[in-house]
Structure 1
Amino acid sequence: MSLLTVTSVVPLTPRMTRMTFTGPGLAEIGTWPDQQLKLLFPQPGGSAHVSDAPDVGTWYQAYLAMPDDERPWMRSFTVRELADEVLTIDFVLHGANGPASRWASSAQVGDVIGRFGPSPDYARPLGEAELLVFAGDETALPAIASLLELLPAAQQRLVFVEVADPAEEQDVPGVRWVHRSAGEDLVSVVTAQDVPADVWVWLGGEASAVRALRRHFVGRGVSKKDIEFSGYWRRTLTQDDAPTADDLAEAQERIAALSE
């Protein structure tokens, strides 16, 4: 576990802010597609630090052993960019609904949070199909944008991103923007597309939408091993809440995919 210091804060859209960080250990991480990590946000008046040499076992056990009113909030994020020992993370702002959004809404240069990962143990290569399909909501946009930057110009791709309204669009070429303000939703738009079975699919965003899209592509004959998927958040629930039966089933599917 290491600490990160904010070096810049740049609004991208009304509901998304980009921050850069520096901190120890970034030079040793390396890069790979879809880098995910944990960020730790201090409670008011507290610290994001967790002992690097805990007396109670692993770092995570030390984290759990902290008193509730001192333990920093931990949330999962995807790296937007990691270069020259500078880490870039894009934050979706949704008011005071959640510690990450609350922190990001008022963060300033010099603020400090914690970092755990990313780990190359979870690295997965991009697919090699003739056509790649990417679909997610705004929480998945940083991952999708970073993945698209890795593709050769000639690579065929279909890209769908659901956002609140046109003001949330970013300069990401080739995206079919899905606007909730227009009554659209990601699942309906993607499932209406005529997509062949011999594709590679990447899905991210709200968990129930990700599950619905995964079922759709499997039903169309896409091999499960050719579908990368991750439910980043759950409607009405947070990462602090206990996993549901669907969450546990998703985790088993992801573990099975990693072992193939």
Structure 2
Amino acid sequence: MARALPRTLHVISKQTVTPNMLRVTLGGDGMLDFPEDQAGGYIKLMFTTEAESKPLMRTYTIRKQREDQMDVDFVLHSDRGPASNWATHCKVGDSIMVGGPGLKKPLDHSADYFLLVGDMTALPAISVNIEALPADAQGAAILEVIDQADIQPLNAPAGMELIWIINHQPGQRPEALASRVRQLHWPDGRVNVWAACEFTGMRALRQYFRDERQVDRGDLYISSYWKQGSNEDQHKQLKREDAVQAEGTQVMAG
């Protein structure tokens, strides 16, 4: 299938979700031929700068989608890059070029138990996955946020335990998620795992899920969404190199 050409979307509104997360709603005529039901999939936002000859691309999750609009949530890191800086300063009516959508990575609802793990960059995708679970789903989500005030209400099934970790300096404690996962009682039955976070933290989680718990390849989606101290292009290169070394594990480069 041919790759969709980038489209121009406009800022419809902005909303503070939590102190460190900002929601920008994009829409306009560019949504007329946008595929339906893409919440949880990713898009490429394209930013032009005077210093670069070609646009900088940053990958973001579609948090929610309506007929003519989509919501995109931005984590407001202290060292703001081009994406969070744009989100902070954009105004209603501003335009941006958007590529995609890319493939969604949903949970397999036939599993017995669901385990979702991620930091704030993965919270939009995790939220979509949790909201799509059947009402009788059993499992847990371990979610790292920057501040207590960043904890969000999620529409989770009654059988899903939500465990929040506070890390005021994202990337500085890459072992935090894996350490908390190890404290969980590993359930009987088939466990479907979805995990995404900073690169070093991802590798710690992967070692646990793949080597210690021997989660089946078909039940393990794990990805790094960013790398402390690296820009997106450097991070992508690291992911490609790491994926070659990590045979049999679904480390996605999306």
Letter of the 1:126 counterpart: L
Q: Quote the residue 2:11 is aligned against.
A: 6
Q: Quote the residue 1:236 is aligned against.
A: 229
Work out whether residues 191 and 213 of structure 1, in 8 Å CA contact, stay in contact via their aligned partners in 2: no
User: Partner of 1:232: helix, strand, or coil?
Assistant: strand
Question: Percent same amino acid among aligned pairs?
Answer: 34
Relative distance call for 1:80 and 1:245 in structure 2 (3 A) is: closer
Letter of the 1:165 counterpart: D
Matches within 5 A, 1:158-177: 158-172=140-154, 173=156, 174-177=161-164
1:205 and 2:197 correspond = yes
Q: Quote the residue 2:22 is aligned against.
A: 17
What is the deviation of 1:70? 3.8
Relative distance call for 1:165 and 1:125 in structure 2 (3 A) is: closer
Matches within 5 A, 1:128-147: 128-147=110-129
What is the deviation of 1:241? 2.2
TM-score scaled to structure 2, two decimals?
A: 0.82
User: Which structure 1 segments of 5+ residues have no match?
Assistant: 45-67
- Residues 183-227 of structure 1, C-alpha deviations (whole Å, 9 max, x = no match): 892121112212237200000111121121122011212112211
What is the deviation of 1:240? 2.6
User: Which structure 2 segments of 5+ residues have no match?
Assistant: 1-5
1:126 and 2:117 correspond = no
What is the CA–CA distance in structure 1 between the aligned matches of 2:247 and 2:41, rounded to whole Å? 16
Relative distance call for 1:245 and 1:108 in structure 2 (3 A) is: closer
1:178 and 2:165 correspond = yes
What is the deviation of 1:152? 1.3
Letter of the 2:194 counterpart: W
What is the CA–CA distance in structure 1 between the aligned matches of 2:39 and 2:15, rounded to whole Å? 24
CA RMSD of aligned residues (A): 2.6
What is the CA–CA distance in structure 1 between the aligned matches of 2:61 and 2:247, rounded to whole Å? 17
What is the CA–CA distance in structure 2 between the aligned matches of 1:94 and 1:223, rounded to whole Å? 34
Letter of the 2:92 counterpart: V
What is the CA–CA distance in structure 2 between the aligned matches of 1:13 and 1:253, rounded to whole Å? 35
TM-score scaled to structure 1, two decimals?
A: 0.80
Letter of the 1:177 counterpart: W
Matches within 5 A, 1:24-39: 24-32=30-38, 34-39=40-45
Q: Quote the residue 1:65 is aligned against.
A: none
